[in-house]
Amino acid sequence: MAFGCMQALLKDDRDGYWKRKASEFVERRAKEGSLYDKKTLEEIRRGVKEWENQVLPRQDRKSAGVRADHQTASGIPLKPVYTAADVKDISPADQGLPGVYPYLRGIHPSMYRGRVWTMRMFSGFGTPEDTNKRLKMLLKHGETGLSIAFDMPTLYGYDCDHERAHGEVGRCGVNVSSLKDMEVIFGGIPLDKVSTSMTINAPAAALTCMYAGVARKQGVPVEALRGTVQADMLKEYLAQKEWVYPPEAHLRLVRDLMVYCTEKMPAWNYISISGYHIREAGSSAAQELAFTLADGFGYVELGLEAGLKAEEFAPRLSFFFNSTMDFFEEIAKFRAARRIWATVLKEKYGVKDQRSLLLRFHTQTSGASLTWQQPLNNVIRTTLEALAGVLGGTQSLHTNSFDEAWALPTEKAVQVALRTQQVIAEETGVPNVIDPLGGSYYVEWLTEQLEEEAYKYFDRIESAGGLLKAIKSGYLQREIAENSYRLSRRIEEDKDGVVGVNKYVVPEKEPISTLKIDFRAQRSQIRRLEKVKRERDPVKVRASLSRVRKSFENEGANAIQPMMDAVMAYATLGEIIAVGKEVWGSWKEPAIL
């Protein structure tokens, strides 16, 4: 099936913008800087040379346990110390101020002085009842935004009674097979009083329709709904791998949701352009930054191709990044992301509306960085990663629980994770000053390094024939797999130390109590689904699914309203997704190894 609306992503647009941007960094380094006058700069350089030649060799003692190499987690080589000479080119225009282009220092003028980041804990397991209880517990303990984790059957669009769902129902998230399940998840939670993020991708449109359906039943106007669906299908093909249909089909549904929400759900972030999963899959910070933003530019082109004006839809493009253990690299990454997004939207896409230039992002601390060994150590890891997110200016934050490598979090573990954010907010003083690391020689230098790497990647992706080709050929996936293997080898060879894994290893285990999920959830969900199917009007369901099918078959149509009707008639998730399988088929990824 040909998809005209995907032409933008296929465009081999070689206007040379990326090459020009990448070479700007080289040119600036060669020029005299603007921050210091020539005499002062020479004095600084002389001082550094003297220190390197005379002070450092005398005092430097190589002892056992001192690292042989000094580099960031991404492999960027690091000097012992950074000085003004390393940031001589940064002009006030490059740096800006909070809430001012290029938004390097923060997207809002007051940041956390005005409002602390949203504390939004990713949650979900077992039955809708189990999850409803957990959401209410977290709200009681002070989380300020909801975030729903779904189980694997739901993520792949299978109902709980499908044979592929057997053994999987409720095990790593909450099961949703119909609108009824969503009604139970949000029972007693007024949707006009909360904002909800749903980590759902292939069936994102259907789940958005279900959330809107719950709102209708609560008497809450749909246009007032605040929240996010992840819905970032490009990164699915790269990293999380939760797709059902071929890329063009999913991108068409992303477009439909974008157009529908722009008009009918103006407070709904219909996409959360994600780097978290790309990083968890083993990418470097530069790759996480570059591939996420490249996906972002792809969605901008998708919206423009759909006939929307940038200022209509771009303000609702939101982002989602990882925060992992290389502390300063993560902070630099968040800053670089903001500056790149604003710059490219302004320069390449000609967007003038300031709201469209703001990179708003949610952060999750890295699950892959947490260890199965000595799980309490994970509290420390999560704390440092959360702090990096805050110092990087995130709008919203999820902190992992210390039992992450064992199971889904217990109540106790998730409380500690939430308290981690609250301690940072209430006790450290960090929220009092915006972008406190701005002006740090190291952090500003590293921010530029990552930006330069990103522009080089944008150029490479364009040379590979554009984003869609780069994904379908497996190029980006192979980049991620290469870096992932590099990281695994570094740990295997003790070049990178991980406490409890290859350093300070303790053979005795102290078992922790973990959350157990059994077949009860599967049985209960199947019973509920049977009841839904008994009580619904089968004629209405058939008619609504037939309309969904017609809309899928017509590329120019918008499929969201038909999906809303089907959801309200209690067509199941599996039934709706299956229509798409019939129309568009499935897709196998290229060989990566």
Partner 1 sequence: MREKATARQRKIRILVAKPGLDGHDRGVLVLSRAFRDAGMEVIYSGLLPSPEQVAQMAVDEDVDVVALSLLNGAHMTAFPRVKTLLEKKGGGDILVIGGGIIPDEDKPKLRRLGITGLYGPGSSLDDIVEHIKERVRKERWRA
Burial class, 49, CB count within 10 angstroms (exposed 0-12 / middle 13-18 / buried 19+)? exposed
Between 13 and 589, whose beta carbon lies closer to partner 1? 589
Q: What share of the chain is helix, strand, coil (3-state, %, to 5)?
A: 55, 10, 40
Rounded to a whole number of angstroms, the minimum distance from the CB of residue 75 to partner 1 is 17
Between 40 and 371, whose beta carbon lies closer to partner 1? 371
Q: Strand 271-274 vs strand 268-269: parallel, antiparallel, or unpaired?
A: unpaired
Write out the two tokens for 156.
Answer: 């792949």
Between 334 and 406, whose beta carbon lies closer to partner 1? 406
Rounded to a whole number of angstroms, the minimum distance from the CB of residue 519 to partner 1 is 9
Rounded to a whole number of angstroms, the minimum distance from the CB of residue 524 to partner 1 is 17
Contacts of 500 (CB under 8 A, 6+ apart): 371, 373, 374, 377, 506
Rounded to a whole number of angstroms, the minimum distance from the CB of residue 429 to partner 1 is 35
Between 73 and 281, whose beta carbon lies closer to partner 1? 281
- Alpha-carbon distance values, 338 to 15, 107, 144 (Å): 23, 8, 24
Rounded to a whole number of angstroms, the minimum distance from the CB of residue 258 to partner 1 is 24
Rounded to a whole number of angstroms, the minimum distance from the CB of residue 568 to partner 1 is 27
Rounded to a whole number of angstroms, the minimum distance from the CB of residue 242 to partner 1 is 6
Helix axis angle for 560-568 and 538-553, nearest 10°, is 170
Between 169 and 344, whose beta carbon lies closer to partner 1? 169
Q: Which residues bind partner 1 (CB under 8 A)?
A: 152-153, 155-156, 158, 164-168, 171-172, 240-242, 280-282, 368, 371-373, 405-407, 481, 484-485, 488, 492, 498, 500-501, 509, 511, 514, 517, 588-589, 592-593
Number of Cβ within a 10 Å radius of residue 485: 11
Contacts of 63 (CB under 8 A, 6+ apart): none
Between 336 and 487, whose beta carbon lies closer to partner 1? 487
Tell me the C-alpha distance between 287 and 524, whole Å.
Answer: 42
What is the side-by-side strand order in the sheet with 396-398? 268-269, 226-229, 195-199, 145-149, 118-123, 396-398, 361-365, 317-323, 271-274
Write out the two tokens for 345.
Answer: 């939207």
Rounded to a whole number of angstroms, the minimum distance from the CB of residue 249 to partner 1 is 17
Between 153 and 303, whose beta carbon lies closer to partner 1? 153
Between 56 and 376, whose beta carbon lies closer to partner 1? 376
CA-closest candidate to residue 443, choices 56, 78, 27, 100: 78
Tell me the C-alpha distance between 101 and 57, whole Å.
Answer: 43
